[in-house]
Amino acid sequence: MLSLSRKSDYALLALAEMARGDDCSVSVRMLADRLSVPPRMMTNILNSLTHRGLVKSCRGSQGGYSLARSPQEITVLALLEAIEGPAQLALCCCESEPAESDQCRIKDVCEIKAPIRKIHEGICELLGQVTVHDIAFNRVNLNVGAAVAMIKGKAN
């Protein structure tokens, strides 16, 4: 079953918390306490998000972490890829690591590769539509019809 890892869940909570904030930096300790997340894990998450350009850090007594871009510009797909790496429903769906698809033992006779890839693309399309702002303010409004049409091959 598809599910968010604990680390991705915490990252999404942290970014939503920052999106609801007043553009101030927030400390690791404050985020960890508010979200009941172990501080070490929150530090690792924020470091990953900083490395991928979703969060920026400031040192000093007034330092901490803040969003590097507007919450309307940060998608759930970008967040998940920052934490988990490239989206990959199956081995054959990982475009950034072609060697991964070589690990599939049935790739030469697989009859479901194309439909699985379409499902993968539809899921990524949906995750790319939802932003941190949508999550933070409970405004998720998906264009599921377009994703389903793409999966069924009726869209470009």
Residue 70, SS3 per DSSP: coil
Count of CB atoms situated within 10 Å of the CB of 19? 19
- State residue 68's pLDDT score: 95
User: Domains of the chain by range and CATH?
Assistant: 6-67 (1.10.10.10), 86-151 (no CATH)
Which one, of 34, 20, 80, lies nearest residue 54 by Cα?
80
23 near 58, Cβ under 8 Å? no
pLDDT band at 55 (very low <50, low <70, confident <90, very high): very high
% of the chain surpassing 70 pLDDT: 83
pLDDT tens across 89-137, in order?
776 766 555 555 566 777 778 888 888 888 888 888 889 999 999 999 9
Ramachandran category for residue 131: left, alpha or beta (phi over 0 → left; psi -120 to 50 → alpha): beta
Is the predicted pLDDT of residue 150 greater than 90, yes or no? no
Is the predicted pLDDT of residue 51 greater than 90, yes or no? yes
- For residue 148, give every residue at least 6 positions away whose Cβ sits within 8 Å of its Cβ, in sequence order, or none: 122
